[in-house]
Structure 1
Amino acid sequence: MPLSFSKGMPGDWKASQKGGAGYLLVQIDGKPYWTDAIGQIPYAVDTFRFYHSIEKTVETAKSWADGTPQSEYDNTNTYDNFFVLRGALYASKRFSYTITQSERSYPAVNVSEQTYPVDCNTLSQPISQDQLALYGFWDK
């Protein structure tokens, strides 16, 4: 699991001296967003690269909602879950994986990551109803 985003680790912007620079909102292309929600995007991309799965990325975010293993499971229709889903959808277009049998006993398989160019503006697109139906498995 990508532990660098856990509470107090290097990926935890709240633990940084600068963090969200004291602001609750940030602007991207002139639109306001909650700083914490934007922080879900790099977490989601990193988690997708670990699991290679949109579903597992969203599920992991719900399990580690406050950044700790003791976190209360967050199965709510929250802003953070939508941003995790946005990041995971972006990562699913940006990365794909090929698994081949190894000629050795360990590791038994080799995993190769392929990277594709994806317009970062896709992150500003809202979650579609089809995407929500496929991946938004939280309380609505």
Structure 2
Amino acid sequence: METIVEVDGVPYTFVTENGTTALRLDNKTTASNDTNPADLHLPDIWLVTRSNGMPLFAVRPDVCDKPFRILSADKLYAEKIQWFEPLADFYRERLWVNPKSSVEGSEVYDAYKQHTWQTIIDFAIVDRPSFVYYRNLPGDWKKQSEGGAKFLLCLVEGDPYWTDGLGQIPFAVDTFRKYWEETREVDAAILKTGQTGLDWADGTLGGSDNGSENVYDNFIIIRACLWASENFELVLEKRPMSAQRFGPSGATVASTVFKPSSATRLKTLIDSGTLAKYKTWKP
């Protein structure tokens, strides 16, 4: 099977056979007495494939990287490479996505758990106790059938993401709402949510990813908090309670009510100004 990948305006043909993908380089025919070696140009590209060799997408290597590779998505994930948050560690620019990724029934389509931003939102807005976001419990989106369904990759409206990155969204939305109700201040709630994300980095209290904290998970948490701040409304309600405990006017109770606006914040990269404002890790 042949797949055409265009890199900087130049088309390259990759051939997949028997679970292996290779770049096909077509060279011109030369005279028999021509002893000069042919100049074969390899594209500056890392082509990411399924385990069966089917091309999924491609990223551009950094200047210090090996310029040409064909590697599986599992290998790319093990190297912590990501292509959706430029200011986070291990970023590589995404160059190409297989156009069959959104074609139902294709091998490429089946490599992903297919989602829209709305399906992720539908999961994230459900009220749940905070403890269910613990690893492997019902709030652990990446493991749920209506969430990541244990896939390594999700395709969201044509864009690939690591599933564990998107899995931060429901946790962050729920946690932000909790802190917003407590603090009644958006910025404080975002910062407290970010810190909670660090405290539960591997899905367990006090867990750590054993590396830099400038990783895509924490950027997705900021995205989710900003989205929640624009799609929920903080409602303050006076409730009559024991005058002895709360005084004659009772207590003011805060709640967050879903007021859908748009999914734009979930799609939007974190820029340097936003990062400086909400970053909860060092350096």
TM-score range, shorter chain: 0.7 to 0.9
**Structure of greater Rg:** 2
For residue 116 of structure 1, what is the aligned residue in structure 2?
Answer: 259
Which range moves more in the overlay, 30-39 or 15-24?
A: 15-24
User: Aligned residue for 1:134?
Assistant: 277
Structure 1 length as normaliser, TM-score?
A: 0.83
Is residue 2:135 matched to residue 1:30? no
Among candidates 224, 228, 245, match of residue 87 of structure 1:
224
State the one-letter code of the partner of 1:44. A
SS in 2 for 1:33: strand
Change (3 A) 1:26 1:15: closer
**For structure 1, which runs of at least 5 residues remain unmatched after alignment?**
none
2:197 paired residue among 61, 66, 74 = 61
Provide the C-alpha distance between the structure 2 equivalents of 1:12 and 1:112, rounded to a whole number of angstroms: 23
SS at match of 1:9: coil
* CA contact 1:26–1:35 (8 Å) conserved in 2: yes
Offset of residue 47 of structure 1: 0.8
Deviation track 1:81-138 (CA, whole Å, cap 9, x = no partner) reads: 0111110110111123244554323673321434333211331111122211110122
Higher helix share: 1
Q: Provide TM-score, normalisation by structure 2.
A: 0.44
Aligned pairs (5 A) from 1:64-75:
64-72=200-208
RCO comparison, higher one (Cα < 8 Å, 6+)? 1
Q: Secondary structure at the match of 1:80?
A: helix
Note if contact 2:232-2:260 (Cα within 8 Å) is conserved in structure 1.
no
CA RMSD, Structure 1 to Structure 2 (Å)? 2.6
Structure 2 portions without partners, runs of 5+: 1-128, 181-188
Partner AA of 1:80 in structure 2 = D
**Aligned twin of 1:125:** 268
